[in-house]
């Protein structure tokens, strides 16, 4: 059974822009997340994975914080994308190909993987390469 488009959009608004869903959910916890963390992965982390599953390991890699606001994420219908390009640290060693991205709750460690998706085209990382997820990178709530 699927969700209605309005509810899908409300879920994205709550998660990515900290927008309350009237009479259902709000962002009034004593310490709500102010950022979500984007990650790169060399394979699909899958529904059972976490933020470390197949995570990038090139030298100098780190997750990137993106604000849980409309300045951090753009929501259009039932899809969400970064409001600006997301630049990861420039590789200072190692080679690998990033094929998936993730959106999670932790700056490091296992964390909760909220969404993941394929990167197209994939990103070949080598010394001197700065991986970038563009504003065309999207996830869809369905």
Distance CA 140, CA 109 (A): 25
CB 137 within 8 A of CB 88: no
β-bridge pairing 132-133 and 86-87: antiparallel
Give the residue carrying structure tokens 């991986």. 131
**Domain count along the chain:** 1
Q: CA–CA separation, 119 vs 43, rounded Å?
A: 10
What is residue 88's predicted lDDT score, i.e. its pLDDT?
A: 98
Domain with 55, as residue range(s), is: 5-140
What is the Cα–Cα distance from 78 to 75, expressed in whole angstroms? 7
Per-residue pLDDT reduced to its tens digit, 67-123: 999 999 999 999 999 999 999 999 999 999 999 999 999 999 999 999 999 999 999
Residue 126: pLDDT above 90?
yes
């Amino acid at each position: 059974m699927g969700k209605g488009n309005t509810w899908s959009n409300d879920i994205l608004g709550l998660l990515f822009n900290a927008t309350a869903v009237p009479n259902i959910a709000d962002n009034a916890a004593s310490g709500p997340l102010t950022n979500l963390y984007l990650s790169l992965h060399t394979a699909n982390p899958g529904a059972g994975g976490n933020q470390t599953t197949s995570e990038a390991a090139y030298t100098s890699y780190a997750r990137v914080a993106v604000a849980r606001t409309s300045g951090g994420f753009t929501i259009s219908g039932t899809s969400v994308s970064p409001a600006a390009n997301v630049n990861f640290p420039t590789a200072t060693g190692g080679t690998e190909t990033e094929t998936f991205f993730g959106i999670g709750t932790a700056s490091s460690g296992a964390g909760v993987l909220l969404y993941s998706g394929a990167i197209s085209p994939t990103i070949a990382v080598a010394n001197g390469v700065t991986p970038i997820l563009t504003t065309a990178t999207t996830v869809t709530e369905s």
